[in-house]
Structure 1
Amino acid sequence: MSERLTFRLWEPVQAHAVLTHHVWPRIKERLMAGQRLQLELRQETRSNEQNALLHALIGEIAEQAEWAGRKWEPEVWKRLMVAAWTRTRGEHVTVLPALDGHGVDMVPVRTSRLSRAECAELIDFVQAWAAEHGIATGQHGVIEEAA
């Protein structure tokens, strides 16, 4: 059985209750049955609201902006924005030789794996870029801070 449990933890008393009443009993039962387990702790990933906001912003940029002499689909703009934001953080963007030997391909950062704080930072970056380039955002009524 490959059961995966996910619990949102936001303060010590609530986290202790979750661990004591929900997590530890499951762990103990499986360990006593001889199973081996892996426990992973990580920051909470972006929210649905952040995801909607990010995609709305990128959609508006795709509707209004041109880059390298033409308009691009939202997915292209998303890759461009994530790559530029990644570099502003002092991180590198992975570019590899294409599998077919023709050119290079960029391997993007997966926004679905961003923490809430990272996604908020990316949203700020996209909004700032849009403002600097005269792109009007908020036209679809979705654009508001989603932290």
Structure 2
Amino acid sequence: MTERLEFELHNPMQAKLALKGQLFPFLANVLQGGGRWVLTVTRRKRTQPQNRRYWGQGVLAQVAAQAVVNGKQFSAETWHEMFKRMFIGVDELPNGELIGKSSTKLTTAEFSEFCTKVEAYASTELGVTFYDLEGR
């Protein structure tokens, strides 16, 4: 008997079929063995394609290659730190310094919104022109 059941749901019909065909039979089986079970429904965290589009040769690489501030260029990691601070928020370190909140816990929708803000800022404020992001 498996201890875990996971679905990725995209629409109401798929959810109905998964609940009826897989979840109900699974619960009927495991609940006969006693014990307590927890059912959690959450949004999916950012996807691998989103991550590749943002990192890879996508958004951050193109910002790092094109953006010049005060005569300097910065690494993708440096830009990522700045964008996290600007668009996600900050956490305070024990010494009082601030660091950008992690983007790894963002849902697909939140990460999409974050990327949209980064791209808009990079285009309008840094003059970055993005190429072939959809193929990333």
Q: Fold match, TM over 0.5?
A: yes
- CA distance in 1 between partners of 2:36 and 2:71 (Å): 56
Letter in 1 for 2:5: L
What amino acid maps onto 1:82 in structure 2? K
Cα offset for 1:77? 1.7
Judged with a 3 Å threshold, the aligned counterparts in structure 2 of structure 1 residues 20 and 66 are, in CA distance, closer, same or farther, namely same
Structure 1 runs (4+) deviating above 4 angstroms are 66-70
**Aligned position for 1:89:** none
Q: C-alpha displacement at 1:5, in angstroms?
A: 2.9
| Aligned residue number for residue 123 of structure 2 | 131
The size of the alignment, in residue pairs, is 133
Q: Which residue of 1 aligns with 2:107?
A: 115
The aligned counterpart of 2:51 is 51
Where does structure 1 lack aligned partners over 5 or more consecutive residues?
A: 87-91
- Report the CA distance between 1:33 and its aligned residue: 0.9
* Larger RCO (CA under 8 A, 6+ residues apart): 1
Alignment of 1:53-92 (within 5 A): 53-55=53-55, 56-66=58-68, 70-86=72-88, 92=89
What TM-score, normalized by structure 1, do the two folds share?
0.73
The within-5 A match list for 1:90-101 is 92-98=89-95
Distance 1:120 1:22 in 2: 30
Deviations 1:19-66 (A, max 9, x none): 122122222222221232211111233233222221110121122335
TM-score, normalised via structure 2 length: 0.78
Q: Gaps spanning 5+ residues in structure 2: where?
A: none
- Identical columns (%): 28
What residue in structure 2 maps to residue 104 of structure 1?
97
